[in-house]
Chain A
Amino acid sequence: MNKILLFFITILFSLNAYAVTNVTFWHMEGVPHRVDRIQTLIDEFNSANPDINVTQEVQNWGEIYAKAPASVAAGTAPEILVGIPDFTPILADMGAAQPVEDFVAELDSKYGFYQKALDQYTYNGHTWAVPLWNMGLSLWYRKSDFEAAGIEPPKTWSDLKKAAKALTKDGVYGIGLPGNKQLYTDQTIYSFMVNSGAEEIYNSDGTLRFDNPQTVAAYDVYKELYQYSAPDAANWTWGEAEACFASKGCAMILQFTVISTYDSQAGGDASDLGVIQIPYANGKAHRAGTVSYVNSAMIMTADEAKMEASKKFLSFLMEPGNYGRFINMEPGLFLPITEAGSQDSTYWDDPVVVKYKSQVETMLDNSTRGSLFGFTNGNTFTSISSISAQNLLAQTLQLTLIDGKSAKDAVSEGMEIMTEAIE
């Protein structure tokens, strides 16, 4: 049925326009083997669709927030732009990102998106991007460390504090937690907030509810744990935390994955690598969750033909058989976002995924329970971009970690800064 439809579309296209439709695909996965994998898929797609020509252009995360709006303003924007939830509202506000709820519904009926995935892109009455893959923060450790210290992996915050203390010894930091004004820190502090019942940043009327006792509790426990972190954690991003863990400098870290670094730079003993759900506040077991980032593709063109071509390419990527290979451009980092994708054999066949199967399963399980600040329970407002792009959760954290204010004062000052930012 689909094939017939595609055939017709192809016929229609060849009738309407003899020219090849060009689609430019911007993404920020510049590591060479990721670029290669995407190119392989693009080549397959292009040869199967002679009327469409997809080209990828790799951008840097560092500048994309400046470059994408500038390219829209200048009329040089790509047809497809990969992004994270924080970024979409800006482009939606500009009128650049096109609503895609019909297309997403179509994919949903075929492959079944996890519900929380769509949360991050549905607001203002539309769905603004096509979810591509998921990433969720988990707690990573070495099983042997816990055995040696005679303790169990932590479930609650008090377990976690005990573990961090017990594992801190000569030259080893109990837990590596970042403290800089950066996305990674936003993610780690929010993963604590989720687990104390403070995942909502907004009230349903669009005002902020950030300043509440649950948030303060999360900031408090973070501050307490931070003393067991490395001294240069104030300047960490994901990579430094991973290196600290891989070199056994940190006993535990919060991270999307450590698998590839662990495998290539730390011996790669799969049986010793532990990963669990982020601990929750005592008595909040039902809250157990994490922070997750659903990466997605925005369609940035209103041109009918280009839009169809873009959708066709995205459908191609989401198709089982292609999908597993697509997200395995970085095996053990990007997680399936659809039910069908999570059963795709091309996903589970990758040697790295085979080797770390139990870890990947835990990651996947955690990620499906993930949420993202500002994109919870339908209380989503585009002003969240100002909060996330400026890393205000992390900035608030610095008020207590670096400037030494109490968690309570920091959170209330943070609330003021956020209120000003979303005006």
Chain B
Amino acid sequence: MIKENNIKFIFLSLSLLLIILIFFFPFFWIITSSFKSPEEIIATSTTIIPRSFTLEHYNKILFNSDFFIYLKNSLIVSFSSMIISIILSVSAAYGLHKLKFYGNKFVEYSLLVTYAFPGVILLVPIYLLFAKVNLLNSYFALIIVNVLFATPFAVWMLKAFFKLIPNEIEEAAYIDGASRYIVISRIIIPLAAPGIASVSIFCFIISWTEYLFASILISGDNLKTLPVGLAGIVGQYQIDWGFLLSGAVLASLPVILLFVFIGKYFVSGLTEGAVK
């Protein structure tokens, strides 16, 4: 027994070390680097603990670029995509889970299989299609696409959360004469709330990080999202690494802040909510 615990301990320490090095250290390095002087960032002798400290990169990006416009756009697009995705997926997941209708398995698998059509394939046709219906250069263009990428997986995750809700509760409500609408809004949604929260965050992240479509479907500066804006403020012939790094940190900061407040729901929602 003691021996096994020792092995366990060694395994645990090793994997912890590995995880910290691989998954956390890059962030430490990038964040500290974004405060380094330009000379130190590109120096051939790389420093892990910074030797210099400057806010010039942040100053430049916050006050000399359209950062806040990009931020606003990303927030609008991501929140709207999230809300629409959640409404559509909750409805679909409930339908798939509780109402066993003809073709439900087919729909369920087909949803997952939508990922079989790579974004690159859809790019040009979607551009042409959106041009026809006058959707180019609008938030809605991006929202439509983001919902497409987020919902299939969202439905699958939600379905798993719904499965955890004991049938008796629902049954009891019906016996008391509740309508389907009441059952969903008063019982299903509140009970699956942690799960819905984590799925919402998933949808938000998918929209927040989307690059390809945002770069093609939007051409006006006033509608660009953060990833596209960030890619654009870097010149073609020169790279201002400090600028780029502080931009990278700032582009991540909003989601990280979001995570400070609701991250634990995401993780606990996912991990305790038993995806089955």
Q: Which residues of A contact B (CB under 8 A)?
A: 26, 28-36, 56-63, 66-67, 70-71, 73-76, 78, 135, 171, 237-240, 242-243, 246-249, 255-257, 260-261, 264-267, 330, 333
Flag if A265 contacts B42 (CB, 8 Å). Answer: yes
A239 to B41, CA, bound (A): 13
Interface centre among B60, B232, B233, B239 (most CB of A within 10 A): B232
B164 located at the interface, meaning its Cβ lies under 8 Å from any Cβ of chain A in the complex? no
Q: Which A residues touch B128, using CB under 8 A?
A: 70, 73-74
Choose, from B4-12, B167-175, B179-187, B214-222, the stretch at the interface. B214-222
A242 to B244, CA, bound (A): 15
A248 to B42, CA, bound (A): 9
CB of B252, distance to nearest CB on chain A (Å): 20
Assuming the A-B contacts A70-B124, A249-B44, are A31 and B131 also in contact, with contact meaning beta carbons closer than 8 angstroms in the complex?
Answer: no
Q: Which B residues touch A243, using CB under 8 A?
A: 42, 239, 241
CB-contact partner of A63 in B65, B215, B233, B237, under 8 A: B215
B235 located at the interface, meaning its Cβ lies under 8 Å from any Cβ of chain A in the complex? yes
CB-contact partner of B238 in A57, A62, A242, under 8 A: A242
Q: Which residues of B contact A (CB under 8 A)?
A: 38-39, 41-44, 60, 64-66, 123-124, 127-128, 131-132, 136-137, 215-216, 219-221, 228, 231-241
Minimum-distance CB pairs A-B, first 8:
A239-B239, A74-B131, A30-B232, A265-B38, A32-B65, A247-B42, A243-B42, A238-B237
CB of A33, distance to nearest CB on chain B (Å): 7
A73 to B233, CA, bound (A): 27
Interface centre among B237, B240, B241 (most CB of A within 10 A): B237
CB of B268, distance to nearest CB on chain A (Å): 39
CB of B40, distance to nearest CB on chain A (Å): 9
A256 to B236, CA, bound (A): 11
A267 to B239, CA, bound (A): 17
Q: Which B residues touch A61, using CB under 8 A?
A: 236
Assuming the A-B contacts A74-B127, A243-B239, A265-B42, are A62 and B215 also in contact, with contact meaning beta carbons closer than 8 angstroms in the complex?
Answer: yes
A185 to B134, CA, bound (A): 39
Q: Which B residues touch A264, using CB under 8 A?
A: 38, 240
A75 to B134, CA, bound (A): 10
Flag if B234 contacts A57 (CB, 8 Å). Answer: no
Flag if A238 contacts B39 (CB, 8 Å). Answer: no
A239's nearest neighbour on chain B, judged by CB, is: B239
Q: Which B residues touch A75, using CB under 8 A?
A: 131
Q: A30-B235, A58-B221, A73-B131 are in contact. List 4 more A-B contacts (CB 8 A).
A: A61-B236, A67-B216, A239-B235, A264-B38
Q: Which B residues touch A260, using CB under 8 A?
A: 238
Flag if B235 contacts A29 (CB, 8 Å). Answer: yes
Q: Which B residues touch A35, using CB under 8 A?
A: 221
Interface centre among A28, A29, A30 (most CB of B within 10 A): A30
Interface centre among B66, B234, B235 (most CB of A within 10 A): B235
B228's nearest neighbour on chain A, judged by CB, is: A60
CB of B159, distance to nearest CB on chain A (Å): 36
Flag if A28 contacts B236 (CB, 8 Å). Answer: yes
Q: Which B residues touch A255, using CB under 8 A?
A: 237
B215's nearest neighbour on chain A, judged by CB, is: A63
Q: Which A residues touch B228, using CB under 8 A?
A: 60
Assuming the A-B contacts A60-B215, A63-B215, A74-B128, are A246 and B235 also in contact, with contact meaning beta carbons closer than 8 angstroms in the complex?
Answer: no
What are 13 A-B interface contacts by the 8 Å CB criterion? Answer: A30-B233, A32-B64, A35-B221, A63-B215, A70-B216, A71-B219, A74-B128, A74-B131, A239-B241, A242-B238, A243-B239, A247-B44, A260-B238
